[in-house]
């Protein structure tokens, strides 16, 4: 069982890193092989909408930009499960996560469909007031639906609930592996 955790925050010691670490601990406790991708340490360019808006991504399912995207996309295709963890900026994902997901859905939603039906765990982390976490989770889920991916759970983490939510994320990782292994008791 391989699960890839894609997380984005410029901070190596903040709330988002703590959340990603707790989920990864749970995944490992349940016996999963964990592949961690810290997007802020990768080179991910934003989509340039080549070819009058649809270039190679529509025709070939590949992006013309040469950066770390292709390797990460391959990792996601080879994973049994995917966890997305993002800091919250302006009630949305980080710019780094948005750039990655924009390119991901262009390649996968129209041509490849490699990620279709993959069930994901979504986590949004806000260190400020926390008001934007639910909107961020909504934006993450909407992006996934374009690729026919499914959100298994959506977890908001804010500085006011971190004392009890961070430990719960470890359990969430364990349960997620169990569901990936034994099936999801869900309609979709």
Residue 79, classed as helix, strand or coil, is coil
Contact 47, 103 (CB under 8 A): yes
pLDDT at 54: 83
The helix, strand and coil proportions of the chain, stated in percent and rounded to the nearest 5, come to: 45, 20, 35
Neighbour-count burial of 172, counting CB atoms closer than 10 A to its CB (0-12 exposed, 13-18 middle, 19+ buried): buried
Q: How many helices (H) and strands (E) does the chain have?
A: 6, 5
pTM: 0.95
pLDDT at 51: 84
Alpha-carbon distance 171 to 167, whole Å? 7
Contact 35, 4 (CB under 8 A): yes
Q: Which residue has the tokens 């279709």?
A: 116
pLDDT at 186: 63
Other C-beta atoms lying within 10 Å of the C-beta of residue 51: 12
Contact 29, 13 (CB under 8 A): no
pLDDT at 52: 83
CA 132 to chain centre: 17
DSSP E strand boundaries for 48-169: 81-87, 119-126, 150-158
- Residue 186: both structure tokens together: 């869900």
pLDDT tens, the chain, 188 aa long: 999 999 999 999 999 999 999 999 999 999 999 999 999 999 999 999 888 888 888 888 889 999 999 999 999 999 999 999 999 999 999 999 999 999 999 999 888 999 999 999 999 999 888 889 999 999 999 999 999 999 999 999 999 999 999 999 999 999 999 999 998 776 64
pLDDT at 140: 96
Question: Quick one: which of 96, 169, 94 has its CA closest to 132?
Answer: 94
């Amino acid at each position: 069982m391989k699960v890839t955790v894609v997380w984005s925050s410029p901070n190596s010691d903040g709330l988002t890193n703590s959340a990603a670490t707790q989920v990864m601990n749970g995944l490992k406790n349940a016996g999963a092989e964990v592949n961690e991708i810290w997007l802020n340490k990768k080179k991910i360019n934003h989509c340039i909408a080549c070819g009058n808006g649809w270039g190679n991504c529509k025709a070939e399912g590949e992006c013309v930009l040469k950066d770390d995207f292709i390797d990460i996309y391959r990792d996601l295709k080879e994973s049994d499960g995917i966890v997305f963890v993002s800091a919250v900026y302006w009630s949305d994902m980080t710019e780094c996560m948005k750039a990655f997901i924009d390119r991901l859905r262009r390649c996968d939603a129209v041509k490849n469909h490699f990620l279709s039906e993959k069930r994901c765990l979504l986590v949004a982390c806000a260190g400020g007031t926390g008001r934007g976490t639910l909107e961020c989770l909504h934006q993450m889920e909407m992006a996934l639906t374009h690729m026919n991916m499914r959100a298994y759970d959506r977890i908001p983490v804010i500085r006011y609930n971190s004392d009890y939510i961070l430990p719960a994320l470890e359990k969430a990782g364990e349960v997620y592996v169990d569901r990936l292994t034994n099936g999801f008791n869900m309609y979709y």
